[in-house]
Structure 1
Amino acid sequence: MPCNGHFDFFIEYSDEQQALHTLSIAYDKLRKNLVQQRTRIHSLLDRIFPEFCKLLYLESKVGGSYDEIQLI
């Protein structure tokens, strides 16, 4: 809606929409942090114990589960 010659982008959202937006931001931050920490652990393991990355599949969804860990 034009107001004094400029376009106003401000929109009032419902409480549910604001909560979903806040939840989305929090999820994004947690996901970014998870990826960052996983990358740090991989590089540390590669430096200290390089054979570990060759023996075990590190991208498993469940840590320590024998069903998810694949031996090469």
Structure 2
Amino acid sequence: MNKISYEVVEHLAVLSETPKGWKKELNLVSWNNRPPKFDIREWSPDHTKMSKGLTFNNDELAQLKKVLSEIDV
């Protein structure tokens, strides 16, 4: 199995934090030296471990923003 490389290019926001210190974050992440994408997932306190997450390109994030703005929360 190939190792996945990543670089958090820009930290954008912490959405929540668990009692054990894991944080759900919105970041701009480059996966396997590819152009960075917007990424939402939980990270361990030292960013060495992560949960499964969701990645979005610019168009997908713009569409998500539009949909979220139309939802009454």
Asked whether the two chains share a fold, i.e. TM above 0.5, the reply is: no
> Would you tell me which structure has more strand in proportion to its own residues?
2
Using the size of structure 2 for normalisation, the TM-score is 0.27
> Would you tell me which structure has more helix in proportion to its own residues?
1
Using the size of structure 1 for normalisation, the TM-score is 0.27
Is the radius of gyration larger for structure 1 or structure 2?
A: 1
